[in-house]
Amino acid sequence: MNILNNFEYFKPKTKSEALELVKNLGDKAKILAGGTDLIIMMKEKMIKPEAIIDIGDIDELKGIECKEGCGAEIKACTTIEYIESSSELAKKYPALTFAASQLGSKQVRVMATIGGNSCHSSPAAETPTPLSALGAKVVISSLEGDRELPIEGFIHGNRKNDLKPGEILSKFILPEPVKNSACRYGNIGLRNAMEIDAVNMAVNIELDEDKATIKNVKLVMGSVAIKPLVSEKVPTILNGRKLNDELVTKVGEAAQSEAKPISDVRASAEYRTDVIGALARRLVKESYEAAREA
Amino acid sequence: MEKQIIKLDINNQIHEVAVTPMDLLVDVIRKQIGLTGTKKGCGQGDCGACTVIIDGKAQLGCLKLAIACEGKKITTIEGIANPETGELHPLQQSFLDHGAVQCGFCTPGMILSTKALLDSNPNPTENEIKHALEGNTCRCTGYILILEAIESYVKAQSEGEV
């Protein structure tokens, strides 16, 4: 179980060297960043790449640029721990830094990268959910140039995404949070650490100038479908309204009706459905209160 | 597959080892270098028995390719005692004094995760200690004694006793 298949190991020093290798090796190669998902998949013989391209130590692919009034850029190989402990990121995007703190264990967060978390495209991944609620885009690079798309368009389903041979995910672009808005994240699993979320969720609410009427809301659920699920019903319930208990209940029911949870070793679909309602009600209240104080 | 010689900086000593790209750091440390204090538990990154400190941070030897560690500074449990006298690190001593070791299999990982935390945050809160150790599993249910050992060491250190 713990024996890896034979592969050739490449460690490019720059992004352009990496792109060259990715193009030349095509689907024979897998990209290694933190390894906390890839090496496990190789140990379990789910994949047997002929080559590994290790991009984990390329400085150009690491770091956070948080610009005053201009959102943030997070390079793909930035570790989850680095994101968790970024105070400038926490000021603008507390939902993301909190989600980062909830991933795996300390050692996993030190090794794992935010790019890897999206590229692994697990339906239960922690960071795509808040990234989606925050309106993040991914930048995909190849020798031909860069292309951008929203994170929802990048993740197609369980371990499936938009990356084509010759491409790597190079960074995330987060828009500046709008005035009178707040985003909150929550997750429920069977234990605190090293768990795979039964359900995770992020809610981003923007209020009108009166700081009471909801102008926009985005509720995103993870681990309830093959990819992060953006609620279509919740905005129709909340937009133009002031939050009250009746609306909170409706939001919970709407999220439950849209989710398509499965039963597996971690939770039954029935339990997941209960959790979806509870998380939706809690996070809508929390993000609404936070937006009022924003 | 053909082996190649790499240099690993482990406990401030350069080790030249012949590895294939497939060799995992935990296996190279244990079998080739002979430092068996680093344990291999689940092999899946869940239990933390294989924890080593790489460039100042606790990481998992079972998910790390050895070949990817060239040029990095690695510390194993053997590297934290006093190299001249062989005297235990006071954190190790605190684990002994508090009975925080039962079967001992998780202990190297527990101590290295703690050391990595304390090197960057010498006065952690109880929650910060728990957050840093959540990737280290003890099956003898010794968490309370482990926490006591760490808190006692932190207190002694902040009072200048060790």
Nearest-angstrom CA–CA distance, A223 and A197: 7
Whether A240 and A143 map to the same domain: the answer is: no
Alpha-carbon separation of residue A49 from A5, A45, A132, A133, A157 (angstroms):
8, 10, 30, 33, 21
Domain presence at residue A58: no
- Mutation target to probe the A interface, by most A beta carbons within 10 A, among B30, B42, B64, B65 is B65
Angle A269-293/A245-258 helices, nearest 10 degrees? 140
Whether A80 and A102 map to the same domain: the answer is: yes
Residue A46, pLDDT score: 95
By DSSP bridging, strand A8-10 and strand A51-54 are parallel
Residue A262, pLDDT score: 85
Question: Cβ contact (<8 Å) for A56 and B57?
Answer: no
Question: By mean pLDDT, which of A157-166, A175-184, A264-273 is the weakest?
Answer: A264-273
Question: Where along chain B do the CATH 3.10.20.30 domains lie?
Answer: 4-76
- Three-class DSSP category at A220: strand
Hey, is the C-beta of A105 within 8 angstroms of any chain B C-beta? yes
What is the architecture of the domain spanning B4-76?
Answer: Roll (3.10)
Domain B90-158: CATH superfamily, name plus number: [2Fe-2S]-binding domain (1.10.150.120)
Residue B2, pLDDT score: 86
Q: Residues in chain B whose beta carbon is closer than 8 A to a beta carbon of chain A?
A: 1, 20-22, 24, 43-46, 48, 51, 57-60, 62-65, 67-68, 113, 117, 131-136
Whether A113 and A207 map to the same domain: the answer is: no
| Angstroms from A15 CA to nearest CA on chain B | 17
The pLDDT of A55-65, averaged and rounded, is: 97
Hey, is the C-beta of A9 within 8 angstroms of any chain B C-beta? yes
Q: Which residue has the tokens 């995330």?
A: A172
Q: Read off the pLDDT of residues A2-28 as tens digits, 9 standing for 90 and up.
A: 589 999 999 999 999 999 999 999 999
DSSP code string of A7-21: -EEE--SSHHHHHHH
Hey, is the C-beta of A54 within 8 angstroms of any chain B C-beta? yes
Split into its structural domains, chain A has a count of: 3
Question: Cβ contact (<8 Å) for A5 and B64?
Answer: no
Question: By mean pLDDT, which of A157-166, B28-37, B71-80, B137-146 is the weakest?
Answer: B137-146
Nearest-angstrom CA–CA distance, A134 and A87: 17
Hey, is the C-beta of A190 within 8 angstroms of any chain B C-beta? no
Hey, is the C-beta of A116 within 8 angstroms of any chain B C-beta? no
- Three-class DSSP category at A243: coil
Q: Read off the pLDDT of residues B17-67 as tens digits, 9 standing for 90 and up.
A: 999 999 999 999 999 999 999 999 999 999 999 999 999 999 999 999 999
Domain finish residue from A147, A174, A201: A174
Give the domain extent around A155.
64-174
- Mutation target to probe the B interface, by most B beta carbons within 10 A, among A48, A81, A105, A190 is A105
Nearest-angstrom CA–CA distance, A275 and A278: 5
Q: Read off the pLDDT of residues A90-128 as tens digits, 9 standing for 90 and up.
A: 999 999 999 999 999 999 999 999 999 999 999 989 999
* pTM (whole model) above 0.90: yes
- Facing B43 at nearest CB: one of A1, A7, A111: A1
DSSP code string of A40-104: HHHHTTS---SEEEE-TT-GGG--EEE-TTS-EEEETT-BHHHHHT-HHHHHH-HHHHHHHHTSS
Q: Which residue has the tokens 């995404």?
A: A161
Per-residue confidence at A30, pLDDT binned at 50, 70, 90?
very high
Question: Where along chain B do the CATH 1.10.150.120 domains lie?
Answer: 90-158
